[in-house]
Amino acid sequence: MNHYICEKCEFDNPEGSIFCQNCGEKLKNNKGLKGFLKEIDLGVVAGNGMKGVSIAPLFSDTVSGKRTSGKEQEGTVKIIRKKDGTFYCPYCGTFNKQHSMICSGCGKNMG
């Protein structure tokens, strides 16, 4: 499991976080799926053009959201609340009050 260290406050954020859950700063080392795909050599993975070789099964666990009614499901990032119950949204960086179950910035479920 990858973690993302915030350059501003050095907080260790769980995999999938786009914003720091301690200070709300945008994480610079989260490359997302596009960044991941750019880093791998698909020629080696795909069998160098061999007929009948598919890389599709390799990415079945990489994409976490499923399409439902045209709206993407919520991600699976673990929410780390501060001692007082407040938190920064890992998706949009909005500061949320204690006991909030839905981010006031992006509307994602934080339950």
pLDDT of 50-63, one tens digit each? 666 665 655 544 44
Contacts for 55 with CB less than 8 Å, ≥ 6 apart: 42, 45, 46
- Tell me, what's the pLDDT at 74? 46
> pTM of this prediction?
0.53
Helices (H), 9-97: 32-39, 42-45
- Tell me, what's the pLDDT at 42? 62
Give the CB-side neighbour count of residue 29, counting CA atoms within 13 A.
14
Instruction: Calculate mean pLDDT across residues 21-41.
Output: 74
Residue found under tokens 């991600």: 75
Three-state DSSP state, 36: helix
Instruction: Calculate mean pLDDT across residues 15-24.
Output: 89
Q: What is the CA radius of gyration of the chain?
A: 17
- Tell me, what's the pLDDT at 50? 62
- Tell me, what's the pLDDT at 88? 93
Among 21-30, 67-76, 89-98, top mean pLDDT goes to 89-98
- Tell me, what's the pLDDT at 67? 40
Cα 27–chain centre separation = 11
- Tell me, what's the pLDDT at 63? 47
Between the CA of residue 72 and those of 49, 89, 95, 108, what are the distances in Å? Answer: 33, 17, 23, 11
CA pair distance 100, 9, nearest whole angstrom:
23
- Average pLDDT of the chain, as a whole number: 74
